[in-house]
Amino acid sequence: MPSIFSYQSAEVDWCEGNFERSTVIAEYYNTISNVSFFVLSPALLYLNRQYRQQRALPMYIVSGLLFCVGIFSTYFHMTLSYVGQLLDELSILWTLAVAYSFWYPRIYFPRSFLSGLLQRLSGVTTVISTLMSFIKPAFNAYVLNCIAFHLLYLTWRELKKCNDKRVHRMAAVMVLWWVLAISSWISDRWLCGLWQAINFPYFHSFWHVLIAMSLLYCCPLVIYFDVSYEMPSFKPKLEYWPSDSWPVVVPYVALEEPHKQC
């Protein structure tokens, strides 16, 4: 029986051919495409530095976990090991759980919701999901992708209350990147025979880049709403880097000066 650390001991093998471009890296393009996560984390911290100064803990923890997603995904696609598969999926699960516990709007809590209960529920749910992933890790990937639908629902509810056209435009771009990303993931999983027939089995590597692009728009959107709810002395303002005039831009949230207290 192979070791859980052995090459190709995972339950999942993606469409890209194994060891075609390297004797060490199982899935070459699926591995190197994770560089997008190594760029994403520092970009979020740097661009949203005003928010980071006010809410350092969630920014550093979530950005650090996104960096870990990149590390574990790199390890998984490099080795296709069972341990790599678990680390890849569990890092995503824990990143989502931590983000929910920090940023889920309190306005959606039931009136009887006790302080800190969301964090405890998120922790319990995550621990249970972690244990379940050891039983059937391949199924975990589909569950994680389904969480996106709840995030889209929350975004839709928030946009109904927001009149800022920039925010609506940023949300639309986020959804576009997500649709392209999930389409790539599904294509690689379900249409592998077609892509191998035309010698282009690289859609999972596109997933890595496209989902990172979606997160690059999603995180500032979450930050914008968090400032609106949790930091009443500041007004969030959506800005673009490097400037509004550039054809390709990256959004971030700036904080206007706090109102003077009497």
Q: Is 259 part of any known ligand binding site?
A: no
Q: Is 16 part of any known ligand binding site?
A: yes
Q: How far apart are CA 219 and CA 62, in angstroms?
A: 10
Given a contact cutoff of 8 angstroms between Cβ atoms, the answer to whether 88 and 212 are in contact is no
Q: How far apart are CA 80 and CA 88, in angstroms?
A: 11
Nearest of 62, 65, 43 to residue 217 by alpha carbon: 43
Given a contact cutoff of 8 angstroms between Cβ atoms, the answer to whether 234 and 256 are in contact is yes
Q: Is 208 part of any known ligand binding site?
A: yes
Q: Is 27 part of any known ligand binding site?
A: yes
Q: How far apart are CA 242 and CA 262, in angstroms?
A: 37
Three-state SS at 26: coil
Would you tell me how many other CB atoms lie within 10 Å of the CB of residue 25? Answer: 19
Q: Is 94 part of any known ligand binding site?
A: no
Q: Is 145 part of any known ligand binding site?
A: no
Query: Would the CA dihedral through 89, 90, 96, 97 be positive or negative?
Result: positive
User: Radius of gyration (Cα) for the chain, nearest Å?
Assistant: 20
Phi, psi of 238 (to 5 degrees): -80, 125
Instruction: Indicate the annotated binding residues for Zn(2+).
Output: 77, 204, 208
Instruction: Indicate the annotated binding residues.
Output: 13-14, 16, 18, 27, 77, 204, 208
Instruction: Indicate the annotated binding residues for Ca(2+).
Output: 13-14, 16, 18, 27
